[in-house]
Chain A
Amino acid sequence: MGDFILLMIGAILVNNILLMRFLGNCPFLGVSRSMETATGMGIAVIFVLTLAGMITWLVHHYILIPMNIEYLRTIAFILVIATLVQFVEMVIQKTAPPLYEALGIYLPLITTNCAVLGVAIINIDENYDLITAIFFSFASACGFSLALVLMAGIRQRFALVEIPKPFEGTAIGLITAGLMGLAFFGFIGLV
């Protein structure tokens, strides 16, 4: 259990997937303009990333390795993720319409979120077993959502301050992310 707690702290705070590993930056800057979109995206990512981490691990160990086609990993994973996203979208639409209304527009965006494919590949490269892989995927997604929601909270306040003209929009977002990353540096040494 202790190992899992360390893994969790490591993935959320120390090696935050957005600020330290640079995965998933496009949605990070794209949807962090308001708190609602950030929360919606965060929940959708936690859900899909955990599932994708599990399924890609199974695909790699029970399909790719026995058939000796590990070099097709990238193609196989991206197809699995694209199908999974489509499938999750349909299931949610049928079973939980209110949830679909809240998450619907973020789901298709997740296919091209490099955090999903990135975590799937890290799971394999680090030789995690199935339970660790699921746990790591979940923890990484939580780290993603944490950074996203924090960022949205900061960005909402930009509306109230006067930003120099050239810095408006993405530029100030990037610098804020840098300062947040610097703050996250304080967690190094926790694990």
Chain B
Amino acid sequence: MSLKAEFTKGLWKTIPPFRLVLGLCPTLAVTTSGFNGIGMGLATTFVLIFSNVFVSLLRKLIPNQVRIASYIVIIASFVVIVELLMQAFFYQLSAVLGIFIPLIVVNCIILGRAEAFASKNNPIMSLADGLGIGLGYTMSLFVVGSIREVLGSGTLLYISNDHPGFHVMWSSFEPFTFMLKPPGAFVALGILLAFMNLISQCQTRKGGGN
């Protein structure tokens, strides 16, 4: 496959967490606003790109029996870097995301890509794959976050009290606080997933059933 195909497949065809049903915990937990979704997505993308490139560079050196343990060490190192960088430069965001930053280690997307892609392909391809999947993931988190934010508090792109974002709903709009609560996350994600399934079903029907 070409470089471009590796990059773009992460944006729709295998977009996590919808097509690649992995990495659900952060998708549900931190998406109370679009901005948090972007923050979490970019942190994951950073780790994904570096772990993919390093796993790919070391793929001939790592013995097959201990590969999973080695991948976990590589991933954990980059997670620590992200954790420290975010505490230093984006303290507020890191306080909101909290425990889910160290938990990037066990995000199955990253280990999944290391095992399924980076361990079999060259570093450039792995970089493209990591970037594509990472940006796809960021996009999904942003969409889920924005939907919950708009319905749950009536704003879009709220960052902090200094940057309150936009009020997108009419003035008498009664926010569904349900959407900001944990059960709302499950329901929102479930409905979005169903919607994506519907779109693909329509596409296959138009494409003559393949």
Contacts and interface: CB of A to CB of B under 8 A. Distances in A.
Contacts of B183: 19, 177-182, 185
Contacts of B57: none
Given A22-B25, A121-B99, 19 more contacts: A20-B182, A73-B102, A74-B80, A74-B105, A79-B69, A82-B69, A82-B72, A114-B25, A121-B102, A125-B99, A164-B194, A167-B190, A167-B197, A174-B186, A175-B190, A178-B190, A179-B183, A180-B183, A181-B182
Interface in B84-114: 84, 99, 102-103, 105-108, 111
B15 interface: no
Classify chain A: how many residues form its interface, as a range. Answer: 35 or more
Interface class of chain B by DSSP: helix
B28 A113 contact: no
In the A-B complex, the 5 residue pairs with the smallest Cβ-Cβ separation, listed nearest first, are A178-B186, A174-B190, A181-B183, A178-B187, A175-B190
B85 to A, nearest CB: 12
A79 B73 contact: yes
A156 interface: no
Contacts, number: 123
Interface of A: 19-26, 29, 71-75, 78-79, 82, 111-114, 117-118, 121-122, 125, 164-168, 170-175, 177-182, 185
A78 B105 contact: yes
B21 A24 contact: no
Interface string B170-185: 0000000010011111
Contacts of B28: 22, 25
A78 B72 contact: yes
Contacts of A24: 25
Contacts of A168: 197
Contact of B105 (A20, A117, A175): A117
Contact of A21 (B29, B106, B195): B29
B193 interface: yes
Nearest to B107: A114
Contacts of A19: 182-183, 186
B197 A74 contact: no
A111 B105 CA distance: 11
B77 interface: yes
B191 interface: yes
A185 B23 CA distance: 24
